[in-house]
Amino acid sequence: MNLQSRNKVSTTFNFSSIADIIFLLLIFFMLTSTFVTPSGLPINLPTSRTSNIVMQKVSVTITPDLQYYVNQRLTPASELETALAAQLQGKEGVVVLNVDKSVPVEYLVRVAGIATSLKAKVSIATKPDKG
């Protein structure tokens, strides 16, 4: 008596759908990772209850030793307005201030005033409060 089945089960597996899913996940993570641009300079940001991430066009960093960086490029205080104007190129933009919490407020206000005179929106970078 011959009891073998006529239908054979295929042991191959089609990987094309898994490859599509992995490719889409890769694209998703690549796109979302560019939204956060942390400052690479050693500053200690102040904390706040709400910390929104803003798409920044120009980043101005003030270090504890009162050095100014425009998009991580060291800029003398006397050339700050021209450097910001060159980065904004006459368009309305967003200037994100990364200011160390030990820096006096007058330096923050000076940079914010320059950015406002160039018709840019000013945002202050903070880190979230864990308390």
Question: What percentage of the chain exceeds 70 in pLDDT?
Answer: 75
pLDDT tens readout for residues 55-82: 557 889 999 899 999 988 999 989 998 9
For residue 57, which of 75, 70, 40 has the smallest C-alpha distance?
A: 70
What pLDDT was estimated at residue 30? 82
Among the listed ranges 11-15, 45-49, 67-71, 95-99, which one has the minimum average pLDDT value? 45-49
**Nearest-angstrom CA–CA distance, 86 and 73:** 13
What pLDDT was estimated at residue 100? 87
Place of tokens 């490719």: 23
Which is more confidently placed, 99 or 3? 99
For residue 63, which of 38, 99, 17, 20 has the smallest C-alpha distance?
A: 99
The yes or no reply on domain 47-128 and CATH 3.40.220.10 is no
Residue ranges of domains in the chain: 47-128
pLDDT tens readout for residues 103-116: 898 998 999 999 88
**Nearest-angstrom CA–CA distance, 66 and 114:** 16
Which is more confidently placed, 52 or 116? 116
